[in-house]
């Protein structure tokens, strides 16, 4: 059975950011310079997710690293000649990098940065869930552990999930989906596939509120609404574009509107502003009468990635990712099936969390 959000600890961003003394401008500049030097000394490449702080995204860009979604981060790391990959994101992203690059050393600024979807789908419970539905093809989202991926037939990202599940549906297959129930519901509605859903959710996207979104749209009637499919159904139904992180960035760049209400982690604004510097970005509301004390448009675990922790990791070679080799091989099979499907259908696989 899926875990309720209350069954695991969600760190508060305020306590995280307050754990280290604030840096003044000179200290930040010195730390950034030290990080850049260490990346070169350690033969390391920094790959950062769209949801981490802009300062880390900027360092990745300026040092020949990469900023993207979790799968593209891992694919870039596999192709990069560096012997060490530093993954700024949450733990499953470091594991994904290790799945594709077992010969490389994979480090993270912190190993405490988790994901509610990953934590809410423990392998033992998921194995039992799969055993209850032996006739179903197991499709899991990339926001899962290596152990859960090893139990899957296919690993998918948010952008490839609909076409891949459509393909499976056309073969007459029934689907067992995990872990995000909102994304699973969206895929089911888009494809008409017979799907059994694990009951998980993202602590950021689950907090977007349709009632408050309706009010905000009245204030900004010309704005287009962009939503990640991990958002609740009543939020998705109000969106002009539903898509992965990379797809939402592309929408800001390509669509004619000058204003966008964005229902995903607000750290994506850094890349959106790069893509379309003249456009106004507005956070979709998590506040209001229907919100909870968790409400925040930024993942508290992503917030654990900061300049100091990145420098510490590079200085000491700490926070290395290790995965069980047997599980890695099985997880690679499920991931490779997705990549092969994408290549066969001439689609570029992008988008996760």
pLDDT per 10-residue tile (average), the chain, 353 residues: 46 44 87 98 98 97 95 90 98 96 98 97 98 98 97 94 96 98 98 98 95 96 98 98 96 98 97 97 80 68 96 97 98 94 67 47
Asked if domains 5-115+301-322 and 117-203+326-344 share a fold, the reply is: yes
Confidence (pLDDT) at 159: 86
Confidence (pLDDT) at 127: 98
Q: Please, are residues 73 and 93 in contact by the beta-carbon 8 Å criterion?
A: yes
C-alpha to C-alpha distance for 265 and 353, rounded to whole angstroms: 9
Confidence (pLDDT) at 348: 46
CATH superfamily of 5-115+301-322: NadA-like (3.40.50.10800)
Q: Please, are residues 45 and 62 in contact by the beta-carbon 8 Å criterion?
A: no
In what helix (H) or strand (E) does residue 130 lie, and over which residues does it extend?
helix 123-131
CATH of domain 117-203+326-344: 3.40.50.10800
Which residue, among 326, 301, 299, has the nearest Cα to 149 in the 3D structure? 326
Confidence (pLDDT) at 223: 98
Q: Where are the beta strands (DSSP E) in the chain?
A: 44-49, 66-68, 84-88, 105-107, 137-141, 154-156, 175-178, 195-197, 224-227, 241-242, 259-263, 280-283
Pairing of strands 44-49, 259-263: unpaired
C-alpha to C-alpha distance for 47 and 152, rounded to whole angstroms: 26
If you classify domain 205-283 with CATH, what class do you get?
Answer: alpha beta
Q: What are phi and psi of 274, to 5 degrees?
A: -65, -40
Confidence (pLDDT) at 289: 54
Q: Please, are residues 335 and 151 in contact by the beta-carbon 8 Å criterion?
A: no
Please report, for the chain, the start and end positions of each structural domain, with discontinuous segments joined by +.
Answer: 5-115+301-322, 117-203+326-344, 205-283
C-alpha to C-alpha distance for 116 and 4, rounded to whole angstroms: 10
Confidence (pLDDT) at 347: 47
* DSSP conformational letter for 262: E
Confidence (pLDDT) at 339: 87
Q: CA of 317: how far to CAs of 84, 217, 252, in Å?
A: 10, 47, 38
Confidence (pLDDT) at 351: 45
Confidence (pLDDT) at 350: 44
């Amino acid at each position: 059975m899926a875990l309720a959000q209350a069954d695991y600890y969600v760190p508060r961003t305020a306590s995280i950011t307050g754990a280290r003394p604030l840096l003044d401008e000179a200290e930040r500049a010195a730390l950034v310079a030290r990080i850049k030097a260490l990346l070169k000394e350690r033969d390391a490449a920094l790959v950062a997710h769209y949801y981490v702080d802009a300062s880390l995204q900027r360092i990745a860009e300026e040092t020949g690293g990469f900023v993207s979604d979790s799968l593209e981060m891992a694919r870039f790391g596999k192709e990069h000649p560096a012997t060490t990959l530093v993954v700024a994101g949450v733990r499953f992203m470091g594991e994904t990098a290790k799945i594709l690059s077992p010969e490389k050393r994979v480090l993270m600024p912190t190993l405490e940065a988790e994901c509610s979807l990953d934590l809410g789908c423990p392998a033992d419970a998921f194995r039992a869930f799969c055993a209850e539905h032996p006739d179903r093809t197991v499709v899991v989202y990339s926001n899962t552990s290596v152990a859960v991926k090893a139990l899957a037939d296919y690993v998918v990202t948010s952008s490839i999930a609909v076409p891949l599940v459509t393909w499976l549906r056309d073969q007459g297959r029934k689907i067992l989906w995990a872990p995000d129930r909102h994304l699973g519901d969206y895929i089911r509605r888009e494809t008409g596939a017979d799907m059994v859903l694990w009951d998980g959710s993202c602590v950021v996207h689950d907090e977007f509120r349709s009632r408050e979104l309706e009010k905000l749209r009245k204030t900004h009637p010309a704005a287009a609404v962009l939503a990640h499919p991990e958002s609740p159904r009543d939020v998705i139904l109000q969106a002009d574009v539903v898509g992965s992180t990379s797809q939402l960035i592309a929408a800001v760049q390509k669509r004619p509107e000058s204003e966008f209400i964005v229902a995903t982690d607000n750290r994506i604004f850094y890349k959106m502003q790069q893509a379309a510097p003249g456009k106004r970005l507005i956070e979709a509301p998590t506040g209001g009468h229907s919100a909870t004390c968790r409400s925040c448009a930024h993942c508290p675990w992503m917030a654990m990635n900061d300049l100091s922790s990145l420098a510490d990791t590079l200085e000491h070679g700490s926070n290395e990712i290790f995965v069980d080799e047997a599980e890695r091989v099985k997880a690679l099979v499920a991931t490779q099936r997705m990549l092969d499907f994408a290549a066969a259908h001439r689609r570029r696989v992008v988008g996760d969390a």
